[in-house]
Structure formats: structure tokens, C-alpha cells
DNA sequence: TGATTTTTGCAATAATGTCGCATTTGTGAT
DNA sequence: ATCACAAATGCGACATTATTGCAAAAATCA
């Protein structure tokens, strides 16, 4: 995925957005990071160049437009990511380290659901989170 | 599970707690409800008999002691439940209706994870949430 | 009952997210 | 390049959820 300013601006306009500098920066962050990001992390990376409210509005707008997914909720933080690894009904699983808080996408991890969910229920999406220890925290 | 006041008090003391009236009431609510509950729901059920801060403290203390689990996060609400349907490494899946917000425990639903989670990672717990429509909301 | 320790209520504070509104910015037409 | 218009932003106020300090109250045990 190209991440230069022009490509980002084009992508934004194709998605129906004005290519404002804030939106270009936030989208670029996600593309360069290649991992889930929360509003707080984005603020830390961007510094005071973008207002808190604007970041929230950008994340909501991007999510509504399908440019981002809400990957999972980490404590009180909502964590977003590019949806390139997700299908319509299946957002891929994530891993979260209980020691350092590090998170990762489990792209090659398969989750099979067995059994009926119940009479009359319609399942549309599944969210799977694996908690444990990351390699860095494993050896204590 | 017996839910009379004496049994509840004994259970609390066995778990290392003083059997205060607030704790007896909260634990009794969970046992009688048989479903996940949030702090807000507890407050609504108990009325002004117990302070907000006390409910938060009771939920945290119960969870730390293993008397409760945090079942899942619903928007901004943390939802707790008795851990009687959960094993050490496997908290059973839950269902959440995207229309009415109704939630349910999927006790008979099995989730099989296939594939390695990755070199060096240690998986300790899995959290699975199925989103969709409940029977009441299914027919529109 | 009285001594001891824990828990509670209350109010203050924190953390996260939302909203209204004046100002600024991006865009497309001139 | 400039202009006009719609859309987005910054800012401050507000909302909601959760946490903390501390004096008062309650539970436990001798
Ligand atoms: Mn992911
Ligand atoms: Mn459950
Ligand atoms: Zn770690
Ligand atoms: Zn429903």
C-alpha cells in the first residue's frame, strides 16, 4: 500500500472525504504502522498537531466509511486497524499480552465455531481475543 | 447454588471477605440472575441502598478473588458474571444483539482454535463474542 | 460490650468521549 | 489565482464511567 501524501489524498477522495491534512496524517499512520492503534496512541504519535475531538471524529468517519475497523476494545481504549485482513463476517483474531499490553493480529490463526448458537439467533460477526504472554514477557 | 443470606455470608467469609450487607446483596443478585450483569444494572436493581463507588469496589474485589469474571465489555460497560461456566483457560463465548443490546451466554457453543498462535507466544485465555440479531430482533 | 480492622458513603478528581459553534480549510468554478 | 461554498477543525463546555482520600459506620472477634 502506497503511503505518500498524494496516494493518501486520492484514497481519501475516492472514499468520499476531503483530503485534509489531519486525515492524511491519521490514515498514513495506520498504513505505516501496520498494527492496531488507539486514539491515545495516535495523539502521542502526532503530538498537538491535531485536536482530540478531530481524532475521534476522523476515527468514527473512517470506520463508518469502511476505511478502518474497530479491532477490539482494550480496557477503556477502542483500538482500530485497517480492515485488509478481515472479511465481512469475520474479523480476524487478536492477541493481547497481559503483562506489557502489546497486541498483535493473528492472521494465520483459525477459529472454528461448532454447535448451534441457538434457535432464532442470527450470527453476523465473531470477535476473538486471545490473552496471554508475548515472547518478550514469556521468560518473566 | 443456594442463595439465602447465611449461605452467601459463609461463601463470602470462605473467600476472605467480611460479609457486609452490600456484598451479600451483590453476590445474591448474580446468583439469582443467572446472567451477566453490569455495574449499572446492579445499581438499578439495588436502588440507592449501595453507593456507586462501593459497587465498583465490590465488583473489583470479587473479580480479583475469583468470585466473578469480567465476561465481556459492552460499549463502555464492563459486564461481570459468575465463573461457574468457565474453565481456567476458556471463558465461554457470549452473544450480543446489535439491535437491542441483549446479551446471552453461549454455553453449548464450542470454539476450536487451529494453528499456532506464533513463536514464543503463550495463550492463557480466549474471549469470543458473537454479534448478530436475537430472536426478537430477527424478524425486523 | 469494646477494641480492632475493614468497608462504606460522600465528594472530589480522573479518564474517555461527545457536542455546539465560530473559524479555518479544501474544492471546484470562475 | 481568486472566490464562494460546503465541510472539517479547534476549542471549550459537557457527559459518562470509574477511581481515590478520608471521616464515619459496620463487621468480627475476644
Ligand atoms: Mn488485526
Ligand atoms: Mn457468560
Ligand atoms: Zn508482553
Ligand atoms: Zn435483539
Instruction: Determine the 3-state secondary structure of A70 from DSSP.
Output: strand
pLDDT number for residue B131: 80
Entry pTM: 0.79
B66 versus A56: the higher-pLDDT residue is A56
pLDDT number for residue A90: 65
Whether the CB-CB separation of A27 and A62 falls below 8 Å is answered with yes
pLDDT reading at A75 higher than 80: no
| CA-wise closest residue to B131 among B88, B93, B89 | B93
Contacts of A78 (CB under 8 A, 6+ apart): A38, A39, A59, A70
| CA-wise closest residue to A41 among A25, A57, A29 | A29
Put simply, whether B106 touches A (Cβ < 8 Å) is: yes
Count: domains in chain B: 1
- On average, the pLDDT of chain A sits at 85
Q: How far is A74 from chain B (nearest CA, A)?
A: 9
Closest CA to D9 C1' — which residue?
A54
pLDDT band at A57 (very low <50, low <70, confident <90, very high): very high
Residue A15 CA to D7 C1' — how many Å?
15
Give B24-42 pLDDT, tens digit per residue.
999 999 999 988 899 999 9
Q: Do A115 and B109 touch (CB under 8 A)?
A: yes
Q: Determine the structural domain holding residue B55 and report its residue range.
A: 5-138
B55 versus B83: the higher-pLDDT residue is B55
The CA–CA distances, whole Å, from B91 to B58, B85, B86, B111, B129 equal 21, 8, 5, 11, 10
B8 versus B121: the higher-pLDDT residue is B8
Q: Do B112 and A108 touch (CB under 8 A)?
A: no
**Cα–Cα dist B82/B110, whole Å:** 19
pLDDT reading at B1 higher than 70: no
Looking at residues B49-75, what average pLDDT do you find?
91
According to the 3-state scheme, what is the secondary structure of chain B? CCCCHHHHHHHHHHCCCCCCHHHHHHHHHHHHHCCCEEHHHHHHHHHHHCCHHHHHHHHHHHHHHCCCEEEEEECCEEEEECHHHCCCCECCCEEEECCCCCEEECCCCEEEEECCCCCCCEEEEEEEEEEEECHHHHCC
CATH assignment at residue A17: 1.10.10.10
Please tell me the number of the ligand nearest to residue B99's CA: 4
pLDDT reading at B140 higher than 70: no
Q: Which of A3-12, A24-33, A105-114 has the lowest mean pLDDT?
A: A105-114
Kindly list the strands in the beta sheet with B94-97, ordered across the sheet, starting from the edge strand earlier in the chain.
Answer: A103-105, A94-97, A122-133, B122-133, B94-97, B103-105
pLDDT reading at B89 higher than 60: no
Put simply, whether A46 touches B (Cβ < 8 Å) is: no
Q: Do B135 and A112 touch (CB under 8 A)?
A: no
Looking at residues A7-22, what average pLDDT do you find?
96
Other C-beta atoms within 10 Å of B93: how many? 25
Please tell me the number of the ligand nearest to residue A97's CA: 3
| CA-wise closest residue to A76 among B76, B54, B6 | B76
Amino acid at each position: 500500500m502506497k503511503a505518500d501524501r498524494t496516494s493518501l489524498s486520492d484514497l481519501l477522495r475516492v472514499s468520499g472525504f476531503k483530503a485534509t491534512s489531519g486525515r492524511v496524517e491519521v490514515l498514513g499512520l495506520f498504513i505505516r504502522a501496520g498494527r492496531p492503534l488507539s486514539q491515545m496512541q495516535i495523539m502521542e504519535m502526532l503530538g498537538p498537531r491535531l485536536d482530540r475531538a478531530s481524532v475521534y471524529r476522523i476515527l468514527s468517519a473512517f470506520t463508518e466509511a469502511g476505511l478502518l475497523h474497530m479491532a477490539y476494545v482494550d480496557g477503556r481504549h477502542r483500538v482500530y486497524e485497517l480492515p485488509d485482513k478481515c472479511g465481512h463476517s469475520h474479523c480476524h483474531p487478536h492477541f493481547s499480552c497481559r503483562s506489557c499490553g502489546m497486541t498483535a493480529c493473528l492472521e494465520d490463526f483459525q477459529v472454528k465455531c461448532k454447535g448451534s448458537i441457538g434457535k432464532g439467533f442470527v450470527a453476523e460477526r465473531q470477535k476473538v481475543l486471545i490473552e496471554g504472554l508475548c515472547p518478550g514477557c514469556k521468560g518473566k
